[in-house]
Amino acid sequence: MFRFPDDYNRLEAGQYDVGLSEETISKILAGAFANVKREYLYASLPRHAIQLGGCFVSKRLITASFFQVFVGETGFVTDAEKEGWGWTWDAGWKKRNGLNWKTPFGSGLDRIYFDKSGIVPVMQTSWNDARAFCEWMTRKSGRGFRLPSEAEWETWAAGNPSGIASNESIYAEDAGDYLDRIIKICRESSDECPRGVMWEWTQDWYDSYPGGMANRDFGTTYKVLRGGSLMSDEIQKLGEYRFRRCPTARSPFYGFRICADAL
C-alpha cells in the first residue's frame, strides 16, 4: 500500500486557474495540430478560476499488484470480468473477449505485465472499478480516499510540468512498445508514475465549464479522463485537455491515481 503522506503530493488549498483560453486554442488549431478534434479543445473553454480545498494526490498510478490486494480482500469483480471483454487498440479500437485487469492485452504481453505488477499501473479498469478501489481504501485506512476532481488533477499536473511521461513524447509503435516504455519509465521513476503514461480517471462527469460552449456530450453520460497516454499525441497530453468515456469503459490505456482530502 502507498504510505501516507510520503507517497502523495500535497495540493494546497487556494484559488487556481483551469481550462484553456481561446488564444491558446487558436494557436493549436493554426499549428501542427490543426486536425485535433475541436470539440475536445472547446470543451476546455473558458479558462477560469476555481477554489480548491486542498488535498493529497498519489505520486503513482495504482499498480496491478496493489489492485490485486484489493480484489483478494474483497472478491471484487471488474466491469470487464462481468461482461467478458475489453477494448484494445490494433490499428483502430477493437473489442476482444477475455480482456480484463489480469489479461489486458490478450497476448504474451500479459505475462510481462503481471511479472512487473509491482511497478506497472493496473490496466483495463473502468471508472466504476476505480471508485470501488477508493471505497475499499477508505474503509481500510479510515481516511477518505477518492478519485481527484478534474480541477484537482489539472492543478496537480501544472505543478508537475516534467511529468509528461518522463519526456517520452514519441508515439508508441504498438502494444509491446507501449508496455516496454511503461516498465522503463516506472523503473526509472520508482517513487512516482508521471502523467502522460496512461489516461487517468477523474471524479467528475463530462460537463460544461461555467460560461462554456454547448456540447451534446455534456451531462451525466461520460466521466472525464486526463493526461493522455504513451499512445496519445502531444495535445492530448496537455494538462488542460479533457477526454471522456462511459464509466464502464476500459482499455490497456486507462488507469487511475487516488486522492485524499487534506486534514
The predicted pLDDT at position 190 comes to 67
pLDDT at 138 > cutoff 50: yes
- Between CA 144 and CA 170 the distance in angstroms is 37
pLDDT at 161 > cutoff 60: no
The predicted pLDDT at position 166 comes to 41
Per-residue burial over 233-258, b if 16 or more Cβ lie within 10 Å, else e, is ebbbbbbbbbbbbebebbbbbbbbbb
Q: What average pLDDT is seen over the chain?
A: 92
Instruction: pLDDT band for 165, please (50, 70, 90 cuts).
Output: very low
Q: Residue 227: CB partners within 8 Å, gap ≥ 6?
A: 153, 157, 195, 196, 197, 198, 199, 200, 237, 239
The 8-class DSSP code of residue 103 comes to: S
Closest among 129, 145, 135 to 201, alpha carbons compared? 129
Question: Quick check: 104 and 120 in contact, CB under 8 A?
Answer: no
Using one digit for the tens of pLDDT, what is the confidence trace for 219-243?
999 999 999 999 888 889 999 999 9
The predicted pLDDT at position 171 comes to 64
- Between CA 62 and CA 67 the distance in angstroms is 7
As a whole-number percent, the residues of the chain with pLDDT over 70 amount to 94
Closest among 25, 26, 17, 24 to 47, alpha carbons compared? 17
Instruction: pLDDT band for 4, please (50, 70, 90 cuts).
Output: confident
Query: Average pLDDT in the 1-18 region?
Result: 91
pLDDT at 40 > cutoff 80: yes
Instruction: pLDDT band for 36, please (50, 70, 90 cuts).
Output: confident
For domain 8-261, give the CATH number. Answer: 3.90.1580.10
Strand, coil or helix: 129: helix
Question: Quick check: 154 and 110 in contact, CB under 8 A?
Answer: no
- Between CA 248 and CA 201 the distance in angstroms is 11
- All three cell numbers of 111: 505475462
Using one digit for the tens of pLDDT, what is the confidence trace for 44-84?
999 999 999 999 999 999 999 999 999 999 999 999 999 99
Using one digit for the tens of pLDDT, what is the confidence trace for 196-219?
999 999 999 999 999 999 999 999
The predicted pLDDT at position 201 comes to 98
- Between CA 221 and CA 252 the distance in angstroms is 22
**How do the domains of the chain map onto residue ranges?**
8-261
